[in-house]
Structure 1
Amino acid sequence: KTEMGKPSKRSINLVQLLKNATESMGVRKLEEIKGVEGMISRDKFPEPLEKGVLRAKNDVFTFKDATIRHDSTDLPLTHFKPSEIGVTIEKLKELGYKTDFQGKPLKDEDQIVELKVQDVVISKECAHYLMKVASFVDDLLENFYGLERFYNLRGQEDLIGHLIIGLAPHTSAGVLGRIIGFTEASACYAHPYFHSAKRRNCDSDEDAIILLLDALLNFSKTYLPSSRGGSMDAPLVLSSRIDPEEIDDESHNIDTMDSLPLAFYEKTLEYAKPSKVAVLIDNVKKRLGTPRQYKGLMFSHDTSNINSGPKTCLYKMLPTMKEKVNSQIELAEKIRAVDQRRVVEGVLLSHFLPDMMGNIRAFTRQKVRCTRCNRKYRRIPLTGKCKCGGNLVLTVSKGSVIKYLEISKELAEKYPIDPYLMQRINILEFGVNSLFESDKSRQSSLDLFL
């Protein structure tokens, strides 16, 4: 049993500890092992050094909670063809897929199959990384715990059938999933229920995929930061089963019909409210609490291949925020049903202005940090230096405060936004200029007046 003692200063022979760890794990000299200079958890309790050695050997990297993750863009999927996800008919039958979506026996790779709600199709890039994670877990089981290897993967196809955890940022509950195939896209295809259980809605969100055994072996609340929000983005609990009645009701609006009735289109001519025509549409909400909530969710339009579209989200391809916003507004200008003015105001109100205001507040309340001992001060000491003699630096940069100011001004000038919103931007700029040294108000030399 490990017990925490009182903190004290000690000399640690890290070279010898590292040598012992590499020898006990049967690992020869490694070029680089990455770590952290300090810990921000409550007890400052470190991981066994052997785990770091094995991660370095397998070229994988840990998160703050000691799990290893791969982030992928969320994409919804309710049906698939075996040929689209690179899996054989025999393997699908082993996973419980006996028939296609029409109830016919599964025989052909081009038959359409309904996806089970906790099965996922991961990217080949993700599969490549998870193979490294599996190798690390096997090494850990064999060399550190003295147990048999579990995964023993020889290729990506061996990942099929293994369990994962899906976890969204800013949440503390993971969702259990099962890998059934792979896609060329840099995304994770999963049932809308699965994404909704993670509290996501697939609007270009990225979530983490964690190999289940890695989380079970290595995750610990002991490693989480003691600061506010430290327990977020960690699988504190795991949902092993998805109940559609318990997930976000946004997913209850999914329609489940193979075609819309004529009466629906006739109502569109009357400009009827959605609530008036809801009775004509069969959706998930009407199936809750019955076996039909899990299967028989039909689609209205087929697609030739789910891999035919873009392989990477455009948001990831565009390097700067200015390019991302301009691309969004250019699209809004092309769509007749979209008011680009409202799009611009939405970007400003929901993203840029709150971000800048929050960063200004953080800048004015920030602490200063010593570059030598890493000690933090709420206020700058009168001496201007740390007790150890080190230099003090800011913890919040000027760049984080003003990064969206210029693009906000450009958008406000280019599009006729609400005058009140324009005044908010001007007031914000005035506040930024008063906080930092403005080029316009910089003191001039007397030589300029001679």
Structure 2
Amino acid sequence: MLYLVKFVRKNLEIERKGQRITLILPFDERLRDIFIDLGLEYRLSDNRFRISSFPYTLIRSCGLDVEDGKVVERVAFEEVEELYSSDIPVVDFVSKLSGVKVREKAPTRIGARMGRPEKASPRRMRPPPHVLFPVGNYGGNQRLINSAAEKGKIKVEVGLRRCPRCWKVTHRTFCECGEHTISLGKVVEREIDLKEELKRSAEKLGIGVLPDSIKGVIGTISKEKTPEPLEKGILRAMHGIFVFKDGTTRFDMTDAPLTHFRPCEIGVSVEKLRELGYERDFEGKELEREDQICELKVQDIIISEDCADYLIKVSRFVDDLLERFYGMERFYNIRKREDLIGHLVIGLAPHTSSGVVGRIIGFTPAQVCFAHPFYHAAKRRNCDGDEDSVMLLLDALLNFSLSYIPEKRGGRMDVPLILATKIDPREIDKEAHNIDALFRYPLDFYEATLKFSHPKEVEEIMDLVSHRLGTFLQYGHLGFTHDTKNISEGPRTSAYKTLDTMMEKIDAQLRLGKLIRAVDESDVARKVLEKHFLPDILGNLRAFSKQSIRCPSCNTIYRRIPLKGICPRCGGKLTLTVHKKSVEKYLDISKSLADKYNLPRYARQRLLLVEKSIRYLLGEEKRVRNLFDFE
């Protein structure tokens, strides 16, 4: 800083053009580096710096001033040297020279890392089924109902049900007489003529040609083992959607909080928004233009465009189900995205059993679900990288059943056992109560930050949601301090998803670390190795040594290799469940990092020991020989 002050005082020239001032300084490499550090804009012309952006700021910061068009000293140079030698902080030094109190741009800095990349994709089981109908091992690895039906009759475990009208015992939820059956609470291995069942289901739906691939499950895992009607699986396969464990069809998205939006940002016309109740903007003016800012209602959501396209498929499935299976009128009749606006969905987070009703009001190209902080809080989410699902309300009402959910610990989680139709801000997580509703923070707040005051000490001077609970203001009139041109502006897909291999991802991360002065790329490489790669390699090595064996033909899993070396059940060839490549996948990358970034000896020795363990367990890789090796 002292070098800058000395150089400017000795060499500064001023060029005036009307009211515009340009500072001129001779070129100097050290001075150039200082300007770059400060973020000071300059042009280089005739081997001289020309500074026209905020010139007076630089003049005052060097203890100078301008009087009658001439540069004069505000602070004598002897005093400048005395101040500098007193080892006061740089911001205090600049404050003394300029006569203006200068604050640190960022008194406290924190590091951040990516918890997980953004997501917007359908919820799928592994492998994804179209229907919760058991086919055992008759359907092969893909659990194909079409393939199982070719075998005629199959034996699977199902729950018995009885018709209250004709007393016929069956496994179906609907009797042939049309009555809904009642569970007997008894599970048996029953022979089912799947070919005939499939034919009967197709006839009921009025479908001549079945989809090529209708996927079921090996077996149901609920207490009653009630199979889903095959008709639902046929219709889902026709529309290209899949079923989850509870009978619903879902779409997962990353949660993002939002309190305000513009109609042009969510692809909805002003007329449509007025129909939905958005008659005025956040300032109380009539909503007439697409660029006016509206406050988001608590239970309205803005879904990703990919989600909208998938929900259109679900809506068509629901309409076909109503018409062809239940003999009722179609409900949605959706042809394009805009037709989804105004329809209700259920938002449901994992590890909870309570869904929250929401209303679709728009779409975003971002891979997130924008919703009010209260809506996310009602789902027990706090938007720190969380993701959860949405499902069409009618799909859940028609297809969800307690008879499908797993009979195991945690089986009743992530299913909509309860439905919240109205959000009460007093009942949601307290994190949402700490949101402030101000458009402008008071000066006392900023002064309190300089003292590092506890948040509780400034609660009274801030307009928080917690102060509004129980009043008519609890549902709205939230403020914001910063506007943005578009809520979806910026990168919509992170590089973590666009880069293919792990090596490409690591290289990109370390290249970025090299560009950022605050980051030591060698330390980043060490942390990647010690926190990610080594634990992964060791975990996979442990899993490899304790793995079970699987038969791909009948999917039977054995804890130890059978003495015959083949599957005792079907005679099929056995395969590993943890493969050699999964153990070694990060080994070469780790060795490359250790060499390239000269990692500490301890990290290199750990890596060497891990490599020796892998070679000891898996053996050395045999080199393929050719004729030239025997010359």
Q: Are 1:284 and 1:293, in contact at CA under 8 Å, matched by a contact in 2? A: no
Q: Are 2:303 and 2:368, in contact at CA under 8 Å, matched by a contact in 1? A: yes
Aligned to 2:82: none
Aligned to 2:205: 25
Cα separation, 2, equivalents of 1:241 and 1:428? 55
Q: Comparing 244-253 with 183-192, which one deviates more in the overlay?
A: 244-253
Aligned to 1:392: 574
Q: Are 1:369 and 1:392, in contact at CA under 8 Å, matched by a contact in 2? A: yes
Say whether 1:48 aligns with 2:224.
no
Picking from 169, 179, 195, the partner of 1:15 is 195
Cα separation, 2, equivalents of 1:344 and 1:278? 42
Please report the TM-score for the alignment, with normalisation by the length of structure 2: 0.61
Q: Are 1:174 and 1:239, in contact at CA under 8 Å, matched by a contact in 2? A: yes
Picking from 98, 110, 120, the partner of 2:291 is 110
Q: Comparing 334-343 with 47-56, which one deviates more in the overlay?
A: 334-343
Change (3 A) 1:336 1:253: farther
Instruction: Name the aligned partner's letter for residue 337 of structure 2.
Output: Q
Instruction: Name the aligned partner's letter for residue 219 of structure 2.
Output: M
Say whether 1:321 aligns with 2:502.
yes
Say whether 1:374 aligns with 2:374.
no
Change (3 A) 1:197 1:262: same
Q: Are 1:27 and 1:57, in contact at CA under 8 Å, matched by a contact in 2? A: no
Aligned to 2:103: none
CA RMSD after TM alignment: 3.7
Cα separation, 1, equivalents of 2:233 and 2:360? 27
Report the 3-state secondary structure (helix = DSSP H, G, I; strand = E; otherwise coil) of the residue aligned with 1:8.
strand
Instruction: Name the aligned partner's letter for residue 25 of structure 1.
Output: L
Instruction: Name the aligned partner's letter for residue 452 of structure 2.
Output: K
The number of residues matched between the two structures is: 442
Cα separation, 1, equivalents of 2:575 and 2:377? 42
Aligned to 2:216: 36
Cα separation, 2, equivalents of 1:253 and 1:308? 27
Cα separation, 1, equivalents of 2:271 and 2:255? 28
Report the 3-state secondary structure (helix = DSSP H, G, I; strand = E; otherwise coil) of the residue aligned with 2:255.
strand
* Structure 1 segments unaligned to the other structure (5+ residues): none
Please report the TM-score for the alignment, with normalisation by the length of structure 1: 0.82
* Structure 2 segments unaligned to the other structure (5+ residues): 1-181
Cα separation, 2, equivalents of 1:61 and 1:54? 10
Change (3 A) 1:209 1:424: farther
Say whether 1:403 aligns with 2:579.
no
Deviations 1:43-101 (A, max 9, x none): 54321110011112222222333322223343332210112212233332333323222
Change (3 A) 1:56 1:352: same
Aligned to 1:220: 401
Larger Rg computed on CA atoms: 2
Q: Are 1:80 and 1:113, in contact at CA under 8 Å, matched by a contact in 2? A: yes
Say whether 1:289 aligns with 2:464.
no
- How do residues 230-241 of structure 1 correspond to structure 2 at under 5 angstroms? 233-241=414-422
Q: Are 2:270 and 2:288, in contact at CA under 8 Å, matched by a contact in 1? A: yes
Change (3 A) 1:6 1:227: closer
- How do residues 244-263 of structure 1 correspond to structure 2 at under 5 angstroms? 244=425, 247=428, 251=432, 254-263=435-444
- How do residues 128-277 of structure 1 correspond to structure 2 at under 5 angstroms? 128-169=309-350, 172-202=353-383, 205-225=386-406, 233-244=414-425, 247=428, 251=432, 254-265=435-446, 270=450, 272-273=451-452, 275=454
Structure with more strand by fraction = 2
Q: Comparing 103-112 with 155-164, which one deviates more in the overlay?
A: 103-112
Change (3 A) 1:433 1:46: farther
Cα separation, 2, equivalents of 1:338 and 1:59? 46
Aligned to 1:123: 304
Q: Are 1:252 and 1:283, in contact at CA under 8 Å, matched by a contact in 2? A: no
Instruction: Name the aligned partner's letter for residue 491 of structure 2.
Output: P
1:18 shift after superposition: 1.6
1:145 shift after superposition: 1.8
Cα separation, 2, equivalents of 1:408 and 1:314? 21
1:372 shift after superposition: 2.8
Report the 3-state secondary structure (helix = DSSP H, G, I; strand = E; otherwise coil) of the residue aligned with 1:99.
coil
Picking from 276, 282, 302, the partner of 1:101 is 282
Say whether 1:279 aligns with 2:461.
no
Q: Percent identity?
A: 55
Q: Are 1:359 and 1:401, in contact at CA under 8 Å, matched by a contact in 2? A: yes
